[in-house]
């Protein structure tokens, strides 16, 4: 019998006992795994205003409904190679603005402007390339 120690911190995963190197229905953290169903990255959803610090240690994706102007403060939990998306949703009032901390870097050095119409939905991708270097993709604006 071969045994391996697994980190089962996620209650959504089930690991089966490995007998005679038969690892059927077992996922290992240090090997490539083939999944037979869709995998969903953790997503934080919040309705907020003011200063916001994204928690990259717990989430890959962020859906933020703005009920006031927000500033994305510089995080301390980013991991090099992490990527995902940030979605901004204007509340029914709209006219909310976005300000970025200095660690959010934009193409051309110009901060993105988000839509301000009531209920507007914008999305931008990100990729973390170094400590304090969160690259933001161009904002895709006004989904409806």
Q: What is the pLDDT of residue 24?
A: 55
CA distance 144 to 142: 6
> For the chain, what are the domain ranges?
1-31, 43-143
Q: Which two tokens stand for residue 17?
A: 């006992």
Beta strand extents in the chain (DSSP E only): 43-52, 61-72, 83-90, 98-100, 104-106, 121-130, 133-136, 140-143
Q: Which stretches of the chain drop beneath a pLDDT of 70?
A: 1-31
Of residues 49, 52, 53, the one with CA closest to residue 68? 49
The torsion of the CA quartet 9, 11, 12, 17, rounded to 10 degrees, works out to 80
Q: What is the pLDDT of residue 2?
A: 43
Q: What is the pLDDT of residue 115?
A: 96
Q: What is the pLDDT of residue 65?
A: 98
């Amino acid at each position: 019998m071969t045994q391996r120690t697994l980190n089962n911190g996620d209650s959504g995963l089930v690991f089966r006992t490995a007998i005679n190197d038969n690892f059927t229905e077992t996922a290992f953290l240090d090997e490539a795994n083939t999944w037979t169903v869709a995998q969903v990255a953790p997503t934080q959803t919040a309705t907020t205003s003011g200063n916001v610090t994204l928690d990259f240690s717990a989430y890959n994706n962020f859906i933020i409904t703005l009920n006031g102007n927000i500033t994305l403060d510089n995080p301390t939990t980013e991991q090099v190679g992490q990527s995902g998306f940030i979605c901004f949703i204007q509340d029914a009032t709209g006219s909310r603005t976005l300000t970025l901390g200095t660690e959010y870097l934009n193409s051309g050095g110009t901060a993105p402007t988000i839509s301000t119409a009531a209920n507007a939905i914008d999305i931008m991708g990100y990729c973390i390339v170094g400590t304090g270097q969160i690259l933001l993709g161009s904002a895709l604006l006004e989904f409806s």
